[in-house]
Structure 1
Amino acid sequence: LLDMIVVRRIIGQPQFSTVMLTIGIGVVMRSAAAMVWGPETRSLPTPFDAATFRFGGVVLSAVYLSILATTALLGLILFGFFRFSRVGTAMQ
């Protein structure tokens, strides 16, 4: 909706205008959300909230380990997609 109403009107203008417009839209949307729901940060509960693991002298939260594992898994999936699928090799 924003693309149709706002962004498409500046097609043909310098790219700097588009960058500044999208940054401005982001600031306005973030400010509007802060006015409606408040500025405090809210988080969703995870199944890993209190769990921690110790590896020698290093203490790691289960949340960070799950983020690391998910990132590695998605990286492998993307590697496989771009390396072995017909669409992935065409995109390269």
Structure 2
Amino acid sequence: MSSAAAKQMYYKILQKRSVIGMPPTVRRNIEILGLKKRFDISYQKVSPSTAHRLAKVKELVEIELVDEPKTKEQLKEERRPNPGFVLVKANPNTQ
């Protein structure tokens, strides 16, 4: 076995459904997981307490296991839509 430390894993949590009409315990668990509204993404370290919280709200979220969390800027860039066109520099010799 190698003496290198195991790499920390993270849950990528995407809230797919709203908490409207849910009991207060479900609402609190969603809030503690760092989610506020539909399609919010949160990253949490893999731990037994996080796994327990996720089990309580499994119908409302989509979970993925990732190596490292993304920054807000990276998530924003991912969500940016394709403009539908490409700017091409005009040839300066043509008029």
TM-score by length of 1: 0.22
Instruction: Determine which structure has the larger strand proportion and give its number.
Output: 2
Higher relative contact order (CA 8 A, sep 6+): 2
Instruction: Determine which structure has the larger helix proportion and give its number.
Output: 1
TM-score by length of 2: 0.21
Q: Report the structure number with the largest CA radius of gyration.
A: 1
